[in-house]
Chains A and B, each alone.
Chain A
Amino acid sequence: MNSEIKMDALYVPSPDVVAREIEGELIIVPITSGIGDLEDELFTLNETGRDIWDKLDGKRSPRAIAAELAAEYSAVPGEIEEDVRGLLEELLKRRIVVESGR
């Protein structure tokens, strides 16, 4: 599967996952073969991962998300872009996010 992130495309959480904040941690349950399987692999995001996840609304591109976060964290935009790209590639590879409209 091509997991290369396009920085100006739009991405959203996959319809095949359920994400819930549990005791301060975002837990992502994949729907595999039509079942939400708590015995299978689950995913959690750390705080900064969660900040990116919260902005995946299908309206903001990875580049726009990185720009917002750079302002929030007072960080270097280029560095943030690489972090956003890295996480989204991982999420896309695992089918936790999908490109919007696909």
Chain B
Amino acid sequence: MSRAAGKPGLRVVKGGELPLSGESLLALLEAVLAKGVPFRFRAKGFSMSPLIKDGDILIVEPRGGKRLHPGDTIAFINPMNGKPVVHRIIRLDRGFVVVKGDNVAETDGLIPEGDVLGIVASVERRGKKVRFGLGAEGRLIAFFSSCGLFEKLLSAAKRVFRPATRRRAR
């Protein structure tokens, strides 16, 4: 190559070390799912805590022709900012889904089913699978979440279990 252009080079990057904005993550997520294969990436944020925690590794499968159900944890495009979000469906509503983070009070509003990118199939935390919340119990969580009770149950559970955990640690 010319001196100005420089030699062509390939750089190898450890995926987790690549700083990606929400828009960039969305572009890769869409591109991989469009190939019909699942996408594995690291979750950011606390809105689905404690079932999905900041830093957990998620596998999102392409939706394909699958029907959506309340309780499914999905990746979708946030209509407010165009960024990808992973939250739980609490209700279906004529071509739309009502989505909400387990750990937040407000819903994300009505999301067109067409904006659903994929369904979370797996959560890994420190190398181990976290299954709770992705099966049939997801419907129960969605039910409590839609009544505004899931956060209260979580808070109560934290009050009960935290002191016990601390006692055990002493």
Interface on A for B, CB 8 Å cutoff?
18, 20, 22-23, 27, 29, 31, 34-49, 51-52, 69, 73-75, 79-80, 83-84, 86-87, 90-91, 94, 96
Contact = CB atoms under 8 A, between A and B. Distances in A.
B7 A36 contact: no
B39 interface: yes
A49 B57 CA distance: 31
11 contacts: A29-B28, A29-B31, A31-B32, A31-B37, A35-B39, A35-B40, A36-B35, A38-B15, A42-B18, A75-B1, A96-B10
Main secondary structure on B side of the interface with A: mixed
Nearest to A23: B24
A87 B69 CA distance: 47
Interface in B18-52: 18, 20-21, 24-25, 27-28, 31-32, 35, 37-42
A42 B13 contact: yes
Main secondary structure on A side of the interface with B: mixed
B15 A34 contact: no
B9 A79 contact: no
B59 interface: yes
Contacts of A73: 1-2, 4-5
B8 A84 contact: yes
Given A27-B24, A34-B37, A86-B7, 7 more contacts: A29-B31, A36-B35, A36-B39, A38-B20, A38-B28, A39-B57, A44-B11
Given A36-B35, A48-B6, A23 B21 contact: yes
A20 B32 CA distance: 10
Interface centre among A27, A34, A69, A91 (most CB of B within 10 A): A27
A91 B40 contact: no
B163 interface: no
B6 to A, nearest CB: 6
B20 A22 contact: yes
